[in-house]
Amino acid sequence: MDIVLWIIVLVLFALSIAGIFLPVLPDTILLWAGFLLYHFFIADPGAGLPASFWWGMVVLSILLYGADLLTNMFFVKKYGGSKWSSVAAAVGIVLGIFVFPPFGMLIMPFVLVVLVELLVQKQPIEKAVKAGFGSLIGFLGSAVVKVVLQVSMIVWFFLAR
């Protein structure tokens, strides 16, 4: 029975990594499901994962949730976008998840940033598109950050068990 449970844990971890690129998969929740499955059903009673592991996972999970929004906002600003464009990029990520998954997370922030720069900030098209491009770089940057964080969480899991 342990082998089947271990296979499920590993599948949950793999799906969590896939969830970075497929927003319909709740990446952080899948990671936690693997941790909890191990802790309550595989580990010897009373010998599960230490409290330091759980606190570390809480902190890293918060960073995972913030990675999309913060990196997107950072890169929009870095590529010349305004404060309003940074907000538009964050809103675009959230809307993109629901409007046109999985590509909406790329398209919606770009479109909203360009529109804000053109219509609200009255910027030339070149500057607006450059800021919109920053939202694409931000999404890809957040994907890299999330892969690093999730792999770190999985490695920590195997070291802590």
Summarize pLDDT for 93-144 with one digit per residue, the tens.
888 878 887 788 889 999 999 999 999 999 999 999 999 999 889 888 888 9
pLDDT at 114: 95
**pLDDT digits over 41-75, tens only?**
999 888 889 999 999 999 999 998 888 778 878 88
Residues 6+ apart with CB under 8 A from 93: 68, 69, 72, 105, 108, 109, 139
Retrieve residue 124's tokens.
């030339």
Residues 6+ apart with CB under 8 A from 2: 42
Q: Report the length, in residues, of the chain.
A: 161
Q: Which helix (H) or strand (E) holds 155?
A: helix 125-160
> Are the C-beta atoms of 151 and 72 separated by less than 8 Å?
no
> Are the C-beta atoms of 150 and 16 separated by less than 8 Å?
yes
Residues 6+ apart with CB under 8 A from 110: 92, 132, 133, 135, 136
pLDDT at 14: 97
Give 157's pLDDT tier (boundaries 50, 70, 90): very high
> Are the C-beta atoms of 26 and 19 separated by less than 8 Å?
yes
Retrieve residue 142's tokens.
């957040």
Residues 6+ apart with CB under 8 A from 153: 31, 57, 60
pTM (2 d.p.) = 0.79
Retrieve residue 146's tokens.
């999330």
pLDDT at 22 exceeding the cut of 80: no
Query: Looking at per-residue confidence, does 138 or 38 come out higher?
Result: 38
Query: Looking at per-residue confidence, does 20 or 150 come out higher?
Result: 150
pLDDT at 52: 96
CB-facing half-sphere around the CA of 48: CA atoms within 13 A: 15
